A and B are shown apart, each in its own frame.
Chain A
């Protein structure tokens, strides 16, 4: 078969400088998140405050409100995005995401349960959330395995598991009302009132998860080819799939433990990033992490400003912004991206 000299199809699909652009987006979003809010801080003001010359109140607000909040957005956004990338690759399912297949709900249920039963141990919440995320992931994956189910069944069983676990969250919150001061904010996902100290443990989890994810980037790519092909390429499929799902659970669990059920970002950011980088993990992972962080930062800025002085939980803004964008991606995406030859 002679291929025609193709002048216009010759364009390389991956020539888009996705990484520099996402670094730029990330820095911009972080800067916005640090300076915008009920009061505006210019960089000059912050510099003055930091050097001790300016208003000490500025420094206090910055250090105890803006900075932790921005860090929380960055951590949650990147963790859930990386988790989403992993789950989509490993389950070979573009519909999967930590919120869809019940990972977030599992993390949330265990986190709420831990808060209710061990109120004296707030430091245990991230670990409980991780265990919940892992339990949910293994449950859904186990169901899919046992029934040798299709991708659709996987998603459906995830939705079922997710709704059971969400009911669990609601039950705990309803029966033990003292559990959460901001139950609504937890259900929707929010980062207001986060303190720097409470980010330490989840931050460490997320760092470990991100390093694990990136070091397993090639295994992830091989796994996404399907079990048989992965085996024939010399990959121990079972072991590595477990490692990767564990990583996804660490990341999603840690994020949910302080930001609540901020689910959507884990589905749409990997999708959006894939659109620009392709599915190769070594390109996709950093871009998804940066864009995820930027996306949550921007959503949180809007959540603070739109109805100031009232604040929305960031999850609401995220769904209002992200939903239409996701639909746009789906519509724009041409056919031919099917996963079967």
Chain B
């Protein structure tokens, strides 16, 4: 549904992303990983139609993203930036902002909008927080509010920029479970993830970026075995199982490219 062809762009004259070509598989979770400053967020903004690429094309349902009106785009694509505003408004009002792309003239939210908002809050498990002030919530609760907002937006594609950063471990897992449920509901999710462990555990596809370029993409196992993660991040990765789940450990790569040990822990 979303396809990037030779996308190049950045801020001003700084090109952060070079010639990026990838089709995001539908109804899957694609994790975008790479070291700091490799252009992940820039790419995400261009893919979501927030920023225009200086070369190349972003196609949405086969058509250039620039051919859609801003409002129509808001109904098709959600984007959650890394720096999110925390206005002091009730949770339900924040979630209702997700219905803004459907607002007609005169500006009045319809009963079905309120129904969507209610369902989205229940889905994200924040119905009991509906009247609470967003600015008084914990980081994890807030993140669920943003997810509920994206759900209320009822878009097919979601771009999430580091939704788990600054959250404690159990919240991170909760957020990833919510992401999975989004995918199971038929949505296409593309997320920038800092945490390689989460990416390997939860993503269906992983796209690895280095210095603004796509260096590898594939399923988690495939990517793990390709050795690209180790090369790009300068780490060694060990895998292990516990309670039927796969876990990953990362240790720094030995200096001067010494013996790599890729194996079980």
A104 within 8 A of B: no
Once the chains bind, are B139 and A13 in contact (CB under 8 Å)?
no
Q: Mark B104-115, 1 if CB is under 8 A from A, else 0.
A: 000100000000
B139 (CB) vs chain A CBs: closest residue: A341
Say if the beta carbon of B128 comes within 8 Å of chain A: yes
A235-B100, A336-B136 known; A274-B174 Cβ under 8 A: no
Task: Known A218-B107, A233-B98, A234-B71; judge A1-B83 contact (CB<8 A).
Answer: no
**B90 contacts the other chain (CB 8 A):** yes
Q: Are B97 and A221 in contact (CB under 8 A)?
A: yes
Find chain A residues with CB under 8 A from B174 CB.
1
**A4-27 interface bits toward B, Cβ cutoff 8 Å, 1 = contact, 0 = none:** 000001001110000000000000
Do B86 and A12 have beta carbons less than 8 Å apart?
Answer: no
CB atoms of A13 and B133 under 8 A apart: yes
* Complex contact A340–B88 (CB within 8 A): no
Contact check, B140 vs A1: say whether CB atoms are below 8 A apart. yes
A64 part of interface (Cβ distance < 8 Å): no
**Any A CB within 8 A of the CB of B208:** no
A281 vs chain B, min Cβ distance (A):
9
The stretch among B73-81, B189-197, B215-223, B253-261 that forms the contact with chain A is B73-81
The answer on a CB contact under 8 Å between A236 and B88 is: no
Interface residues in A, total, Cβ within 8 A: 33
**CB closest residue in chain A, given B81:** A228
CB distance from A121 to the nearest CB of B (A): 38
**B158, chain A: closest CB distance, angstroms:** 10
Select which of A228, A233, A234, A274 is within 8 A of B45 by beta carbon.
Answer: A228
Q: Which residues of B contact A228 (CB under 8 A)?
A: 45, 50, 79, 81
A224 x B97 contact (CB < 8 A):
no
Inter-chain contact A340/B79, CB cutoff 8 Å = no
Residues of chain A with a CB closer than 8 A to B98's CB: 233
Q: Is A332 part of the contact surface with B, judged by Cβ < 8 Å?
A: no
Cα A231 to Cα B48 with chains together (Å):
10
| Number of residues from B at the complex interface, CB < 8 A | 46
CA distance A289 to B174 in the complex (A): 43
- The answer to whether A3 and B128 have CB atoms under 8 Å apart is yes
- Is residue A232 contacting chain B, with contact meaning CB distance below 8 A? yes
Are A233 and B97 closer than 8 Å at their CB atoms?
Answer: yes
Please tell me if B70 contacts chain A, counting CB pairs below 8 Å: yes
Q: Is the CB of B131 within 8 A of A234?
A: no
A336 contacts which chain B residues (CB < 8 A)?
135-136
Q: Per a CB cutoff under 8 Å, which of A14, A92, A236, A337 touches B90?
A: A14
Which residues of chain A come closer than 8 Å to B48, judged between CB atoms? 232
Given A234-B71, A235-B70, verify A229-B84 contact (CB < 8 Å). yes
Is the CB–CB distance between A232 and B78 below 8 Å?
yes
Give min CB distance, A181 to chain B, whole Å. Answer: 45
Beta-carbon contact of B83 and A340 below 8 Å? yes
Residues of A within 8 A of B97 (CB): 221-222, 225, 233
Q: Hey, which chain B residues are within 8 Å of A234, CB to CB? A: 70-75, 100-101
Chain A residue nearest in CB terms to B126:
A3
**Which interface residue of B49, B88, B142 has the most chain A CB atoms within 10 A?**
B88
Give the residue name and chain of the B residue nearest to A92 (CB): B85
* A341 in contact with B88 (CB, 8 Å): no
| Cα A195 to Cα B50 with chains together (Å) | 51
B70 touches A236 (CB 8 A): yes
Say whether A225 contacts B85, CB under 8 Å: yes
A228 to B77, CA, bound (A): 13
For B107, list chain A residues within 8 Å (CB): 215, 217-218
**Complex: how many Å from CA A336 to CA B97?**
22
Q: Which of B49, B71, B88, B141 contacts A278 (CB 8 A)?
A: B88
Q: Given the complex of chains A and B, what is the CA–CA distance between A13 and B129 in angstroms?
A: 11
Tell me if A179 is interfacial: C-beta within 8 Å of chain B: no
Judge whether A341 and B166 touch: CB under 8 Å: yes
Contact, CB under 8 Å: B86 / A226: no
B78 to A337, Cβ gap below 8 A? Answer: no
Are A233 and B153 closer than 8 Å at their CB atoms? yes
The distance in angstroms between the C-alpha atoms of A235 and B71, with both chains bound, is 6
Q: Check if B100 sits within 8 Å of A222, measured CB to CB.
A: yes
Query: Which residues of A from 190 to 225 have beta carbons under 8 Å from B?
Result: 215, 217-218, 221-222, 224-225
Residues of A within 8 A of B75 (CB): 234
Closest to B83 in A: A340
Cβ-defined contact, B170 with A13, below 8 A? no
B38 at the interface (CB under 8 A from A): no
Question: A170 at the A/B interface (Cβ < 8 Å)?
Answer: no
Least CB distance, B42 to chain A, in whole angstroms: 12
Q: B86: which of A9, A235, A341 is its contact (CB, 8 Å)?
A: A341
- Interface: B198 (CB within 8 A): no
13 extra interface residue pairs, beta carbon distance < 8 Å, beyond A13-B132, A226-B85, A336-B135? A12-B131, A218-B100, A221-B89, A221-B97, A224-B85, A225-B87, A229-B81, A233-B74, A234-B73, A280-B89, A337-B88, A341-B85, A341-B139
Instruction: Please give me the 6 A-B residue pairs with the lowest Cβ-Cβ distance, nearest first.
Output: A234-B74, A234-B101, A232-B79, A341-B84, A12-B131, A234-B71
Give 8 A-B contacts (CB < 8 Å), ordered by A residue: A9-B136, A12-B90, A226-B84, A228-B45, A229-B79, A233-B74, A279-B89, A338-B86
- Interface residues, chain B, with chain A CB atoms under 8 Å away: 45, 48-50, 70-75, 77-81, 83-90, 93, 97-98, 100-101, 103, 107, 128, 131-133, 135-136, 139-143, 153, 166, 170-171, 174
